[in-house]
Amino acid sequence: MSMRDPLYNDESTASIGGPETNVPKHVAIIMDGNGRWAKAHGMPRFAGHKEGVATVVKVVKTAVDYGVDALTLYTFSTENWKRPKTEVEFILKLPKEFLGVHLPELMANNVRIEAIGDMSKLPVATRRAIQYAIDRTRHNDGLQLNFALNYGSRQEMLSAMEAVFADLNTARLSLEELDEEQFSKYLYTADTTEPDLLIRTGGEKRLSNFLLWQLAYTEFWFSDILWPDFTGQDFIDALEAYGQRKRRYGGV
C-alpha cells in the first residue's frame, strides 16, 4: 500500500499566492470519508484513517501558509466509541504517531497545539502525547491547531451548564451576569474565537454534534471529496469561497 509523501510536499499548495478576498481567522473541519476511501481502495478501514493523517499534515501547512489563525479538527467524537474496538484503538493511537513524527515540523512552523473534549476517558498514552505537544508548543504564536478528541457538543453544553449552576449556587456568578458571552467562557472553546468557516468532506451535510453553540453564525462549505483525497488546493478553494460571502449576522 502506497501512502502519500509525509510532510509538506503537496504540489497543490504551489498555487498559494495569497487570496484577494478575506481569509477566515478560524476554520473547523469535519474530516469525513476515511472508511469509505479505504473500502473503495479495497483496504481495511484503518488504512483510510492512516491516509487521512497525511491529509491533516498538508491542510495544516496550507492553513499556515494562508494565514489562518486557528484550525479545529474533529478527530474523535463521543459517538465514535460505538465503532469496533480495534478501529477505536487504532484511531486513538494516531495522535501519538502523528505528533511523534510531525511535532518538529509543527514547531518549525510556529504552530500551537490545543485539545478540546473530555480527555479523561482517552488512553493514557494518547493523553500524554497530546499534553506533551501542548506543553512543547505553548509559547508558539502562529496557527492554533485544536484537536477535538472525545468531543461532543451536547455533552460540552451540559457540562458548561453544570459549571454555571455550581457558580450560581456559590455566588461566583449572578443571573444578571449570565449572557451569551459569559456562557461561552464555560465551554471547551473559551480561549478560542468561534469558527468563521466549517468544512465537511465526504458528502454528508450535517454537523454530527460538533461545535453546535460555536457554529451559530459560521459559514458552511460541504464537499463530496473523501478526506484522504482532500488536497491543499481543495482547502484553498474553501477559503476562497468563504471570501466571496457576505456575513450579516442577522442584519442587512
**Residue pLDDT, tens place only, 71-124:** 999 999 999 999 999 999 999 999 999 999 999 999 999 999 999 999 999 999
> At 148, which CATH number?
3.40.1180.10
- Give how many domains the chain has, as a whole number: 1
In a domain, 11, yes or no: no
Beta-carbon contacts of 29 under 8 Å, excluding residues fewer than 6 positions away, are 59, 71, 72, 73, 74, 198, 199, 200, 201
Instruction: Tell me whether residue 206 is annotated as binding.
Output: yes
Asked, for residue 157, whether it belongs to a domain, the answer is no
User: Do 188 and 116 contact (CB within 8 A), yes or no?
Assistant: yes
Residue 187 lies in a domain: no
Task: Kindly state whether residue 112 falls inside one of the protein's structural domains.
Answer: yes
Domain that holds residue 77: 23-152+195-243
Active site residue 146: no
Q: Which of 32, 146, 150, 196 is catalytic?
A: 32
Is position 4 annotated in a ligand binding site?
no
How many whole angstroms separate alpha carbon 131 and alpha carbon 50? 22
Instruction: Please report whether residue 146 resides in a domain.
Output: yes
Q: Is 70 exposed, middle or buried (0-12, 13-18, 19+ CB in 10 A)?
A: buried
Q: Which of 197, 229, 165, 176 is nearest to 33 (CA)?
A: 229
Q: Is 165 domain-assigned?
A: no
What are 233's three cell numbers?
Answer: 488546493
Domain assignment present for residue 53? The answer is: yes
pTM of the model: 0.89
Identified catalytic residue from 5, 10, 80, 141: 80
Asked if residue 167 belongs to a domain, the reply is: no
Residue 32 annotated among the catalytic residues of the structure: yes
- The pLDDT tens digits for 137-171 are 999 999 999 999 999 999 999 999 999 999 999 99
DSSP conformation letters of 59-112: HHHHHHHHT-SEEEEEEEEGGGGGS-HHHHHHHHHHHHHHHHHHHHHHHHTT-E
